[in-house]
Structure formats: C-alpha cells, structure tokens
Amino acid sequence: MNKVKLTIDDKLIEVAKGTTIHKAAKELGIDIPVLCYMNLEDLNIENKPGGCRICVVEVEGRNNLAPSCSTEVYEGMVVHTHSMRVINARRTVMEFILSDHPKDCLTCAKSGNCELQDMAVKLGVREIPGQEYAEMSEYKIDFSPSIIRDLDKCIMCRRCEMMCNDFQTVGALSAFHRGFEAAVGPAFEMELEDSPCTYCGQCVAVCPTGALTEKDHTRDVINALSDPTKTVIVQTAPAVRAALGEEFGMEPGTLVTGEMVAALRRLGFDHVFDTDFAADLTIMEEGTELLDRLTKHLSGDKEVKLPILTSCCPAWVSFFEHNFPEMTDIPSTARSPQQMFGAIAKTYFAEKINVKREDLIVVSIMPCLAKKYEAQREEFKVDGNPDVDFSISTRELAHLIKEANLDLNTLPKEDFDKPLGESSGAGVIFGVTGGVIEAATRTAYEIHTGKKLDKVEFEQLRGFEAIRKATVDFNGTPINIGIAHGLGNARKLLEDIKAGKSEFHAIEIMSCPGGCIGGGGQPLHHGDSNIIKARAKAIYSEDSGKPIRKSHENPYIIKLYEEFLGKPMSEKAHHLLHTCYFDKSRKIEIS
Amino acid sequence: MSNIKVKVKEKDLIKIKEICKSFNNEQGELINVLHKTQEHFGYLPAEIQEVVAQELEMSVAKVYGVVTFYSFFTMLPKGKFPISICTGTACYVRGADNVLQEFKRQLEIEVGETTDDGKYSLSCLRCVGACGLAPVVLVGDKTYGRVSPEGVKEILAEYQDK
C-alpha cells in the first residue's frame, strides 16, 4: 500500500494514501470537530458529504480552508487544525448554521444530548450575528406512530438520508429544496406514515439535532402508573439491559439487568417481566414452524417454501410488506416477542391474577422505535384494545428513571417476577445479530435430532459481518443458515430468493446495525461503533451466565404450554402467537 | 393499511416509459429524463414523478429531491403564456424587482403560480444573456427589453384576446 508523509500541527505522520486529513489527525490523537461527518467503523456506515464545513483546517499553499472529513492527504502536506483563521471560520460557520435554527433548546427533546448544542458550546458561540436576515422555515411537525420530524431543526447533515437510502435501501427520505428551505423528508413532503418508511429509527439514531426524535410515550406510562384502577405490567427487551447503563454514565457494555428491574419496581410497575420469556416462546413457535417446513421440504413436498425468514423485527416486516409483497408467504408467521408477550399477558396472565383485559396495561421497554408502530397495528388489538398498550424506548426509560430521582448506580440488583419474567440464555441473545437464529438452532437441533448439544454456542453465527453464511450439521443433514443485519443487506438475500438462487434453509434478518443493540431507541452512539460492539459482548455474557440456555428448557414456557396453549402451533397458539402480512407496496394504476 | 395506489393515464404512462427507455432507464440520466418529461407534459406532477421513479428503479423521494432542487423543474402547470422575469444581476440593478412586483399585482399570483384561468404563469430566471436590454421579460419565446413597471400593462394587453 502506498504511504504518504504529512505534517499536522507540527507533528509528522505517515498514513496510507487515500486517508482523509480527519482520519490522519485522529491517528495523532487530534480530534478535529465534526458535525455532518459520521463513521461507524467496521459496520460499513460512513457519512461524509463535506457539507457543514465545521471540520475545516488550514492547508499550507491552499487558498481556502479544506473540509478535513473529505479531503485526502498528499505527500508533504502541512496542515494546521487550530490556527486563528480556522477557529474564526469554524465559529462563523456555526453561527450561520444556528442563524435559522429554532432557539427552543430548553424544551427540545434532544436537549442535553444534542450534537449541535454541544458544538455551539465547544466553539464558544455567544451571539448569532445576522440571524435577523435568516428565513426561518415553517414545516409542519410530522407525528408518525414512531418518529417525530421537526424539519425546522434540520441542519442538512444528511446522515438520516444516508442511513435510509444507502444502509437500509428504504428510500423514504431525501434532501429537498434548497437554501433556508432545505430539509430532508419523504417525497412531496408527505407524512412518514404514507411513505415506505419502516420506522427502523436509524434516522433518529444518527440525527445530530432535534429534527428527528421518537414519539414519546413516557407521559402515557406515568398516567397509567398513576391510575389506581389499573394493573400495570412491564416487559423489557434483551438489548435494553446492555445499553441503559450508558445513560447513567456507565461504560458501554455494562449489564444493568438487576438494577433496571429494581428501577422499574420503584417506578411502580405491579409486575416486572421480561420480553426474553416471550423470546423463548417465539423459539418454540418459530422453531417448530421451521422444523415443520424443513421436514416437509426435505421429504420432497414442493408446496412448502424455503428458506424460512425470521419475523421478530417489525421494521423488517414493514420492509418486505412494502418492497417484496409477492413474498409475504416466506417469513415465519410467528409474532414478535413483544407481541407474543402482550397476547399472553392479556389472556393467560390476566386470567391468573383475575384482572379484566381493559384493566391490565402492558408497557414494553424496547431498543426500537418500530415497536411503537407494531404495538398499534390493528391485527394486534382485541376490540380496539391493544395487546401492548405503550412501547417506550431505552432512552425514554432512562428519562423516566431520572425523573423519578432514581439512579441505576445506587440501586440494588433485583430479579424479574414470575411467571413471565423467567428466561433462558437463548432468549437473551435475541438482542444481537445472529442471536435469534442461534437460539432457534439450539432448540431445533435438539428436537430434530433427539440429542443434547454438547456446546450451545454456535460461534459461526456470531459477528458483525454484514451478511454471514453458516452450515450447521443436524445429525447428517446440513442446514444452511443466512444472517443479515441492515435492510440493504437483507434486500440482497431477498433478491437471491426471488431469483431462485438462494441456498438457505433459514435466514435471520435484523434491521439495525449489530441487531437490536444498535436499535433506533437505544442511547445515542454518536457515531462510535465500539459502543455497539460492547453491547453485543454484554448480551453474550448474560447468556453464558444463565443456568438455562435453551428455550424449550424454560420451565415456565413448559408450564404455559401445559396449562394454556397445548402444544406449539396448536389452534390456540395460532390464534394468539401468529400473524399474517399485508401488501403495502406502491402500485401504479391506469386511471 | 393496504397498498398505495398511484393513478396515471395510460397514454401518459406509455410516454414516460418511452422517455425513460430512450435513456436506457439509467438512474444517472434522471435529470435528462426529467427535462424530456417536463418538455412533454409542461410540468412534473407527483404521479409522473412516481412513474419515473419506478422506471429508473429509484426512490420517488430522490426524484422529488432533484425536482425541488433545480428551479427549472416545476410541479405546477405553466400558463398558456408563461412569463419569466430575469432577476440576474444586471436586470436586478436596473429594476427587475419592481417589474416583478407589478406583474404579481396585475395577475394576482405569486412567483411559481398560474392564474386561475390557466392563461398566465409567473417565474424568475437568471440572465438570458441580453444584459444590454435589462431589465428583460420573456413571454413564451418572445423577449421584451428595457421593461418598466408602467410597461407591464402594455405587455399583458398583447395577450388579452389570444
């Protein structure tokens, strides 16, 4: 590889040809401030439109300042990252950006966690000269079931556009108009609800300002908890415990399962349960469905289609409903763990504690924004009453805990309640890419072969590669498994299936980078992929510390089938735990 | 929620497909496709952008982004007599803005709009290369030079009975 020598702030460095000034400086420990630039290393996600001009530096022999995020180094280059000219230019750029930015920081949902606000502080902006000449845009705020868009706060960094188009290939968002009116949104400024948006929330996860935020349900939860006539129960998704600590100043990857349970109990939830229980239940249903389709397929039944695709991820479900409506018979019909939990809570559990359906409120804590939309889907309601009443994100839970003057750092570790709080390690790994299919493999292998696994870990299914392929030996039958995280990667696997080129028996899809641990409702990673990787480690360590590692060995799952459901895929299970999909594609018709 | 249906006339659909095909349905040809399409239809309404997006296999959001970025493209039908006022530097300093205000007042429309009877539409453009005649106004293909606010009425009168 060709090397290039250059000088940055009087320090000599040699880097690979093609390196940007920003990256070269980083190697020297010089952190040039950036705003629009974002790089999730090892996940293949980079945004460098070179648009905001905050990262400008002085290059000797060059007339104008250079955007360091998108300017490549050359031999003998001499760079100054903090000359007076640079400092003044950066502040001026910031003043321009702020000139037409709303000034409602005090009540903005992003306040305290806003990259624009942080940058204004860092660059010492004390006044905004010329703001009287700026034209404030007046876009209508778009309230979708999951995401709120306030385009007046858009600074055109275009990170959301990159995530929506390049990473997810959803194509709901694009930059439009120009000048003060410029913003990012769906075609014809339609509402997100009418666009092909899947509510994956990755636009929210990367937005540096308050332009994109989650639909906040914390007030609804507080109102429910304040109502003495209601029994309020809560379920927590696996990825939440691996990230919530970050909101309380803990190192990324700190597991806070016990402290989270303690906090939820002190917030006043009547029963603190675990979505992992429902993940075990998902494995029972989805695993049985997989084995059923697999057995029929292997015995030559041409009617049965393979591969089977996982269906836990609501953004993924929306994605194939929008983009591959002709293939809605391929994914598993199993509902997601969130919805399985809701359905069981409002039937089996409600009966057990003798509470009427309408007096039982189910709250879910999710790393995800699409879960808010999923909870509202009509097919998951009984006479208008949803199985899951409110779905709040990891970030919203952190707000609730702080508002109640609780601190995870000082809370004891407590255990989930029974029966819907007991889970296996298989349920835990649902939160990371490859985890659902590993959990399914643990159970499907043992049921299919009748043998006990010596080792429950399937290392070949783990990792962060965009698309992974592995073959697991089911007692002489090789089972080909595919895994993709990110909808753009999922699209590639789907195109193969469509073209009849897929060699897989089963495929797991998660929409977010790294799986649910990188979800749109998680604490903001601010472009640091190490945070996402640390969360994955935490998830796997929780799994390995569990006495039960396989879903079908969870005693409360066994009991649920004995007392209530009968067996997997029974009529009752079908009614409560399975679903169907819809065609949501855009169709051009002759008028 | 069921799928979203976009209604288009059959002959329009055939025409757009034909235009896209003439550019090999390449995404990189979007701007050329939009030029040809606008040339044919006079403007680029939403349903036409939907068809272009489908034919070029790209998101309609991206198509809309390009249409709204370039001021040449319009989503509103132009009038029978499209009026363009040059607001380039030379015309501007010679009073183009006053001329523009007078057109807006007389026609009771804003820039980018079309009169209710579909007769006139108003737009601004940048420099037609006739700075010696500043300020310049175009009505269709016809050029008017050294236009004053007082002359606006006269220009419009020419088209009154057409």
Q: Cβ B2–A583 below 8 Å, yes or no?
A: yes
- Is A267:A401 a contact under the CB 8 Å cutoff? yes
Q: Which of A81, A83, A34, A82 is nearest to A54 (CA)?
A: A34
Of residues B42 and A5, the one with the higher pLDDT is: A5
**Smallest CA–CA distance from A378 into chain B, residue:** B1
What is d(CA A441, CA A421) in angstroms, rounded to the nearest whole number?
23
pLDDT at position B5: 86
Is-above-0.90 flag for pTM?
Answer: yes
Residues of chain B with C-beta less than 8 angstroms from the C-beta of A587:
3-6
Q: Cβ B61–A185 below 8 Å, yes or no?
A: yes
Chain B contact for A186, CB < 8 A? yes
Return the structure tokens found at A270.
């009547």
- Is A166:A160 a contact under the CB 8 Å cutoff? no
- Is B46:A195 a contact under the CB 8 Å cutoff? no
pLDDT at position A1: 65
pLDDT in tens, A439-471: 999 999 999 999 999 999 999 999 999 999 999
pLDDT at position A135: 85
Which parts of B43-85 fold into alpha helices (H)? 46-55, 60-69
- Is A272:A232 a contact under the CB 8 Å cutoff? no
Q: Does residue A312 have an active-site annotation? A: yes
SS3 state at A550 = coil
**Cβ-nearest to A174 among B2, B3, B59:** B59
What is d(CA A205, CA A166) in angstroms, rounded to the nearest whole number?
15
Strand partners, A176: A183
**Cβ-nearest to A591 among B2, B7, B46:** B7
Q: Does residue A371 have an active-site annotation? A: yes
pLDDT at position A538: 97
Residues of chain B with C-beta less than 8 angstroms from the C-beta of A175:
65, 69
Return the structure tokens found at A280.
């075990």
Going by C-beta distance under 8 Å and a sequence separation of 6 or more, which residues neighbour residue A227? none
What is d(CA B4, CA A587) in angstroms, rounded to the nearest whole number?
6
Check whether the bond before B135 is cis (ω within 30° of 0): yes
pLDDT in tens, B103-159: 999 999 999 889 999 999 998 887 888 899 999 999 988 999 999 999 999 999 999
- Average pLDDT of each block of 10 consecutive residues along chain A (591 residues)? 93 96 96 95 90 96 96 97 96 94 95 96 92 87 96 96 97 92 94 96 97 97 98 98 98 98 98 98 95 89 89 97 93 97 98 97 98 97 97 98 97 97 97 97 94 93 95 91 97 94 95 97 96 97 96 97 96 97 92 85
Query: Average per-residue pLDDT in chain A?
Result: 95
Homologous superfamily (CATH) for A290-334+424-555: Fe-only Hydrogenase (Larger Subunit); Chain L, domain 3 (3.40.950.10)
Q: Cβ B61–A583 below 8 Å, yes or no?
A: no
State the angle between helix axes of A337-344 and A275-298 in degrees (0 to 180), rounded to the nearest 10: 110
- How far, in whole angstroms, is CA B108 from its chain's centroid? 18
Q: Domains of chain B: which residue ranges?
A: 10-69, 81-159
pLDDT at position B2: 59
Q: Does residue A72 have an active-site annotation? A: no
Chain A contact for B10, CB < 8 A? yes
**Smallest CA–CA distance from B54 into chain A, residue:** A588
Question: B81-159 has which CATH code?
Answer: 3.40.30.10
Q: Domains of chain A: which residue ranges?
A: 3-122, 290-334+424-555
Give the number of A-B residue pairs with CB atoms closer than 8 Å. Answer: 85
A311, A318, A332, A511: the active-site residue: A332
Q: Cβ A586–B60 below 8 Å, yes or no?
A: yes
CATH, domain A3-122, list 2.115.10.20, 3.40.50.720, 3.10.20.740, 1.10.274.10 = 3.10.20.740
Chain B contact for A179, CB < 8 A? no
* Number of neighbours of residue A125 by Cβ within 10 angstroms: 16
pLDDT at position A488: 97
**Cβ-nearest to A194 among B4, B9, B54:** B4
pLDDT at position A388: 98
- Is B104:B122 a contact under the CB 8 Å cutoff? yes
Distances (CA, A) of B135 to A27, A120, A206, A494, B79: 57, 44, 47, 58, 22
- Is A573:A565 a contact under the CB 8 Å cutoff? yes
Work out whether strand A11-16 and strand A3-8 pair parallel, antiparallel, or are unpaired.
antiparallel
pLDDT in tens, A479-508: 999 999 999 999 999 999 999 999 999 999
Chain B contact for A580, CB < 8 A? no
Residues of chain A with C-beta less than 8 angstroms from the C-beta of B4:
194, 584-587
* Number of neighbours of residue B90 by Cβ within 10 angstroms: 16
